[in-house]
Amino acid sequence: MRTQVGIIGAGPSGLLLSQLLSLRGIDNVVIEKQSRDYVEARIRAGVLESGTVDLLEEAGVGARMHREGLVHGGFSVAFGRRCERIDMAGLTGDSVMIYGQTEITKDLFEARQEGGGRIICEAADVQVHDFDSAMPSITYAKDGQAHTVRCDIIAGCDGYHGVCRASVPRDALDEIEKVYPAGWLGVLSETPPVDDELIYVHNDRGFALCSMRSTSRSRYYIQCTADDNVDAWSDDRFWDELKYRLPEDKADNLLTGPSIEKSIAPLRSFVAEPMRFGQLFLAGDAAHIVPPTGAKGLNLAARDVRNLWQACCAFYEENDTSLLDAYSSNCLKHVWRAERFSWWFTSITHKLSDAPFDRSLQLAELDYYTSSDAGRMTIAENYVGNLDT
């Protein structure tokens, strides 16, 4: 098989890139090791910056998002006995959209199917070859037969554990990582959210977050230990712990119910440098991971996709390689801004130490940043992505 761009990974990054390329007439193939049902069922976050919303609209997959998504102009930070609202819309003129990554993936799969896109799911033994040459290729097995895809460019959208970054020679890659001594225990439930907007909670027992997927479906998180076991957390235990950590008025209004999904996610900051190796380009979680506190993971992936899409368009339409050459540096500038904010917001809202000095310092930081005009603006600008222009 011959194509122009071979895309590994059918998550939102790979599918969005495929959709955008196809709309410009650039041939591509998506190769995914899991089934479509498996990919569509993965539960992920869904706080979208306006730039991500714009890119989904440009890809022609924004209709359901605008019908069902929730526009948020602010969020709250609770600590001590206070609950302070960050007015993103008032401070920056911008907002975020609440729309689950699971739904984005479904929309993109449907769009690629309607557009005749080539998506090969349940591909085994996926490998990338000769990406340091002008003739890279991808091999995989399907239904007991071996296949080869020859292409000009390989887009590695296959996540942190994918084959693309693992195929890069170790001496050509810097992997910079910070692992936090905590995880997020998340519960999805068919219950109305406790508030109209997200609430980030600092508590002596650990962090909590009240989020949502719709007006009738809630997503809640509590900080747990990095080695915790989800089986140790019954629904009742989770709800009791969440209520303890919430401000009293919010806890009184919390509606509980059976969990639809329950999982633990580790907290990690990770960056791979560079993000280009010959004709292999890493995007999304294949290149970087952020703690979910700052809601940057999907938005960073969308920014990578936009950069790679524009670079491919310049290459195929104008024979201009300058954007391909600048891809890694352009992406990493925004990656490190997001890494900094996600690390900082995590460090002041989570219980990462039992030291009294550290806990008191967190409260002082929260007090300053939620009381000061400059502090609120800093949080708002970073959260909506205004600094990532």
Residue pointed to by tokens 């970087």: 288
Q: Is 296 a catalytic residue?
A: yes
Q: Is 200 a catalytic residue?
A: yes
Among the listed residues 12, 250, 292, 334, the single catalytic one is 292
DSSP string, 213-261: SSSS-EEEEEEE-TT--GGG--HHHHHHHHHHHS-HHHHHH-----EEE
Q: Is 72 a catalytic residue?
A: yes
Residue pointed to by tokens 């002082």: 364
Among the listed residues 106, 250, 288, 296, the single catalytic one is 296
DSSP string, 133-195: SSS-EEEEEETTEEEEEE-SEEEE-S-TTSHHHHTS-GGG-EEEEEEEEEEEEEEEESS--SS
The answer to whether 218 touches 191, Cβ cutoff 8 Å, is yes
The answer to whether 383 touches 85, Cβ cutoff 8 Å, is no
Strand order, beta sheet including 124-129:
124-129, 137-142, 145-150
The answer to whether 98 touches 53, Cβ cutoff 8 Å, is no
Q: Is 327 a catalytic residue?
A: no
Among the listed residues 140, 221, 327, 383, the single catalytic one is 383
Secondary structure class of 32 (helix, strand, coil): coil
Q: Is 192 a catalytic residue?
A: no
**Element containing residue 110 per DSSP (H, E):** helix 101-114
- Between helix 12-23 and helix 50-58 the angle, nearest 10°, is 50
Among the listed residues 200, 220, 327, 369, the single catalytic one is 200
Q: Characterize 248-265 residue by residue with b for buried, 16 or more Cβ atoms within 10 angstroms of its Cβ, and e for exposed.
A: eebeeebebeebeebebb
* Alpha-carbon separation of residue 79 from 40, 82, 228, 367, 370 (angstroms): 36, 5, 25, 9, 10
- Would you tell me how many other CB atoms lie within 10 Å of the CB of residue 8? 28
Tokens linked to 217: 């479906």
d(CA 271, CA 285): 9
What amino acid positions are annotated as catalytic residues? Answer: 72, 200, 292, 296, 383
